[in-house]
Each structure stands twice: as C-alpha cells, then as structure tokens.
Amino acid sequence: MNDVNPAPGADMGVSAEERQWAMFAHLSALAGGLLTSAIGGWGFFIGPLVIWLMKKDSMPFVDDQAKEALNFNIVVSAIFLILLLLGFTLGVFTLGIGFLIALPVMFIVGIAALVFIILAAMKANAGIRYRYPVTLRLIK
C-alpha cells in the first residue's frame, strides 16, 4: 500500500481508513454467504448492510462502495433464494431433478459473484470507485 502515489484513477483524498472499510464492505459479503451457506447462501447482503449503516454518515467513499456492494449482493442473494426455492419446488414434483438444474446455476452464480467481489475489494483498497457490471441500484 503506497499512500504517497495513489493508483491511476484513484480518488484523491480517500484516506487509508476509508479504503480499508470500503474493501471490508465488499469482502464482508463473502462472510455473509458462508454463514448462510447451509440454508442456500442467501445472506450475502448482511455484511455490506452492516458496514453501510455504520459508516455511511462519516465516510463518503465507504458510503458509496458499501451501497454498491449492498446492491450487488441483494441481487445475488435474491438469485440464490429463487434458485433454492426453484430447486425445492421442482424437486418435490420431479423427485430431486429440480436441484440438478438449480445447483449448477448456483455454482456458476457463486463463482461469478466471488470474482466480482474480489475485483471490487481490490479496486476499493486502491481508492478507486468500483461499479459491479450486473446489478440493480436498489439503495441510492
């Protein structure tokens, strides 16, 4: 971490503490997903929500990045919940075949979310505002 020469495209004036909290906002989604993995992994939004609520008024960069992480992870959580419900619903009527469809899609969505979250955390740590490519801006 080099505070003297910020990364190209970095926001000038973003403190190391703000960059660290913004990185935590993105990475905390992984903890929420792991904590709820036994019940479908729908809790990706919990960590970014907590960090956004704690830091939104005192750190503008964290406010922006935590909202971005929250919006993305609400979408990811919704996808996982829908796939879980789809798997159960189709599974009841097709003797488990519903999960043969839902589980591979969950795996692909999970890998894509992991890649985007890691990229976002690295950019936030460099002081660069990251925008997830596939998300709905639910929290503004």
Which pLDDT belongs to residue 138? 77
Residue 135 is assigned to a structural domain of this protein: no
Residue 3 is assigned to a structural domain of this protein: no
Distance (Å, rounded) from C-alpha 8 to C-alpha 72? 25
Q: How confident is the model at residue 94 (pLDDT cuts 50, 70, 90)?
A: confident
Distance (Å, rounded) from C-alpha 82 to C-alpha 40? 10
Distance (Å, rounded) from C-alpha 5 to C-alpha 59? 21
Which pLDDT belongs to residue 117? 94
pLDDT in tens, 65-88: 999 999 999 898 888 889 888 888
Q: Is the pLDDT of residue 133 over 70?
A: yes
Question: Which residue range is the domain that position 26 belongs to?
Answer: 16-123
Residue 97 is assigned to a structural domain of this protein: yes
* Amino acid making up residue 104: P
* Residue range 20-29: mean pLDDT, rounded: 92
Residue 72 is assigned to a structural domain of this protein: yes
Closest C-alpha to 25, from 1, 55, 57, 58: 55
Residue 56 and residue 62 in contact, taking contact as beta carbons nearer than 8 Å: yes
- How many angstroms from the chain centroid is the CA of residue 108? 15
Q: What does pTM read for this prediction?
A: 0.80
Residue 1 is assigned to a structural domain of this protein: no
Q: Record the tokens describing residue 21, joined without a space.
A: 């909290």
Residue 68 and residue 131 in contact, taking contact as beta carbons nearer than 8 Å: yes
Residue 43 is assigned to a structural domain of this protein: yes
Q: Is the pLDDT of residue 91 over 90?
A: no
Domain count within the chain: 1
Residue 5 is assigned to a structural domain of this protein: no
Which pLDDT belongs to residue 12? 64
Q: Give the H/E segment covering residue 134.
A: none
133-to-27, 46, 72, 136, 139 alpha-carbon distances in Å = 17, 20, 9, 10, 16
Which pLDDT belongs to residue 3? 47
Q: How confident is the model at residue 40 (pLDDT cuts 50, 70, 90)?
A: low
Q: Is the pLDDT of residue 2 over 50?
A: no
Residue 41 is assigned to a structural domain of this protein: yes
